[in-house]
A and B are shown apart, each in its own frame.
Chain A
């Protein structure tokens, strides 16, 4: 590892490690950040299909309660082919768990973080390549345990991804709280360890291995976002880990952190000792609220870079962007209570959490205005990546604004735990994170795989995804304000949800969700077809400024033959000095730059 730091300092070429030649070391237990990024990308996309299938089944049940689910219903021949209600609970629990812990976080930080950070700061690899490899392989026990849990007696966990005690801690409270919940907890511990190893690596790499001239305030927004995200993860994850271990101990060796003294659920025998149910919620949200930002900040960074590139214009307000990301991360630690306004927590505390939560909307607003400012007066090129990035901005506005309703404690009283919040999170996590992921894949695919994706297919995929996404999720706000609770297997139990309006909306949303699912076939086809048959990509197909475009596509094992020197920040588009070129890569010296060249490249 010290070799790498040494390399970065001096940029000598003779320290390049030889590329491993055997297959296992090269592609499976690889220590190359690019291969690890690709591994995260593939496993994330596979899990994305799994999570999507789970969501389809959820939607089916909501639109046509107790009607046989296509394909799946064979599982329930004994119940007249109807989905049992506990299975419905498993479906939404697993959908959220998979999407959050196995898709969005691994894709954004694992895939893009790994692939991009060293390339964008001009390093040959991560600071700790071996730790990086462990971080990927720690995901697999998590995936295996989670999959196994479906086959244990009682089936997989079904206490929601929030896993609140005492439902989750008492074995007899619901079928999924038998061994399924234990496996769920262990799986999440592994996923957490994976993230933690990754984040330590990112922080160290970004602090230590920047190429000469790459000052902090010259880093691209993607790297800033990954850096702040890694800090969030490093500080918040230990708290979740503690909470998961406490719950695991409650379930296995008879501690009692989370239930009152002599508590009993489902007549299954008392526990001794006295704990606090709300304690788990505090610990859980102390991580899981920052986790929401972990799932959106990298997307914000990537989208900032993509918007600037394809507007052919410098990023508007670079420093305000950096400060607002930092503000989101800082405030992110003091807003967790807004998940608990109706939980029985002291209402005075609710009032303070309301104020901090309102304030966290501010940096998000600043970012949105700066993105619009970036596009304003630009020369916008509508590539697939750009469209997805614009889609991110448009949808993130909805997700951000609908958050204000929940921040307002009295209004939250009505819409808490309804479909309003389901709509809100999907606008942030699908409208935000997932469109950012598609933008990122379209943008960096040529760099990652050395081939171009098909732009026409990409645009069809974007347009249909965008339409069906809105069709699926927007009306959730409306049935939510009507009072439709989340996590119920059959809304028609309630009279006020039995009207043709609500039922019709539920069916409309489900049809859109199915079409949204089918639309992903365009992406799958485009992805794999381009992987093998796409036209060869040039080193810098988008005429972008950041350092990853300075090396060939795909980059060689050592990334940079010579460590580049950085002369300016990444957003010099359409500058007069280099006209008629409209871009000015970070490693290209200008006339006035010669004096600034210090150590490094000589």
Chain B
């Protein structure tokens, strides 16, 4: 039937919808990549966009070929199919070109990947906190005045993470029960917290402000609400002040508790 070639429109429609939704969402803060605040996030976004462009071009090209083929080669009276089993030259071309693009893509990622995750590229700084995932909360342990973790003057917070802008920051990530995943969408950082392992994670921020911490690995019935607040302080002084304030509150609460226990 002659109208059969109209099927090309259906496939074209889906391709236009796909391409269009990416183009359209670019201008909508609710849809596109969240505004990035970290230095590795910039590199990750760059890699994302490169892949998006390459795959976008391949996608559009294949869909055009597909729709053109449907439109042009639809059955019609007198049409005869071209009797051909294949062509070696074409096979070689469409093997070598995608292969080189894929190898390029893989190699192009390596630098960023090793910079973010390899132990050898961890910045030489003290960890700002030990972060422990537990059903269904994030526990943060900061060092007190002695600058050492797991001593009596440690400062503990729940779902409240603070660090300083502009400085490479390390956390030691642990789990107390099941798998969790430490995900900072505005920083493009994700690392699973694994029972029995202590995993150092580093990142930084070029913006002070408040952000969100997501648990990205299914951890039980309350997984959806395992959310943390992230506060990036503009400078070390602000951070120290917050630390001091928290420490004072913590000491006061503990004192009250001790007094209560002692019947005071």
- Name A's B-contacting residues (CB within 8 A): 84-86, 88-89, 158-160, 164-167, 170, 173-175, 259-260, 263-266, 274, 276-278, 311-320, 342-344, 347-348, 350-351, 354-355, 358-359, 361-362, 365-366, 368-370, 372-373, 375-382, 387, 390-391, 393-394, 397-398, 401-402, 404-405, 407-411, 413-414, 416-418, 463, 466-467, 470, 474-475, 477-479, 481-483, 485, 487-491, 493-496, 499-502, 505, 571, 573-576, 582
Contacts and interface: CB of A to CB of B under 8 A. Distances in A.
B255 interface: no
B221 to A, nearest CB: 4
Interface of B: 1, 4, 7, 10-11, 13-15, 17-18, 21-22, 25, 28-34, 40-41, 43-44, 47-48, 51-52, 54-55, 58-59, 62-63, 65-66, 69-70, 73-76, 79-87, 90-91, 94-95, 98-99, 102-103, 105-106, 109-110, 112-114, 116-119, 135, 177-179, 181, 183, 185-186, 188-192, 194-197, 199, 212, 214-225, 227
Given A167-B220, A365-B98, A417 B48 contact: no
Contacts of A491: 224
Nearest to A364: B98
Contacts of A260: 195-196
A362 to B, nearest CB: 5
A459 to B, nearest CB: 9
B188 A277 contact: no
B116 A85 contact: no
A379 B79 contact: yes
Given A409-B117, A481-B48, 10 more contacts: A173-B178, A314-B83, A318-B85, A318-B86, A319-B86, A343-B192, A369-B94, A375-B73, A382-B75, A477-B22
A265 B109 contact: no
A466 B11 CA distance: 9
A478 B32 CA distance: 7
Contacts, number: 333
Given A314-B84, A417-B183, A166 B28 contact: no
A344 B81 contact: no
B64 to A, nearest CB: 10
A365 B94 contact: yes
Nearest to A575: B83
Contacts of B179: 164, 166-167, 277
B47 to A, nearest CB: 5
A174 B84 CA distance: 59
A377 B81 contact: yes
B109 A474 contact: no
B161 to A, nearest CB: 15
A269 to B, nearest CB: 13
A85 B222 contact: yes
13 contacts: A167-B220, A342-B191, A372-B69, A379-B81, A380-B70, A382-B74, A390-B11, A401-B59, A405-B48, A407-B106, A413-B116, A416-B216, A501-B31
A317 B91 contact: yes
B224 A372 contact: no
A463 B10 contact: yes
B170 to A, nearest CB: 15
Contacts of B69: 372, 375-376, 378, 380
A422 to B, nearest CB: 13
A414 B105 contact: no
Contacts of A479: 31
B51 A411 contact: yes
B5 to A, nearest CB: 9
B109 A394 contact: no
A160 to B, nearest CB: 5
A479 B25 CA distance: 10
Contact of A502 (B31, B52, B80): B31
A476 B102 CA distance: 24
Given A173-B177, A417-B217, A502-B31, A573 B81 contact: yes
Contacts of B33: 414, 481-482
Contact of B194 (A89, A278, A351, A494): A278
B197 A496 contact: no
Contacts of B30: 482, 499-502
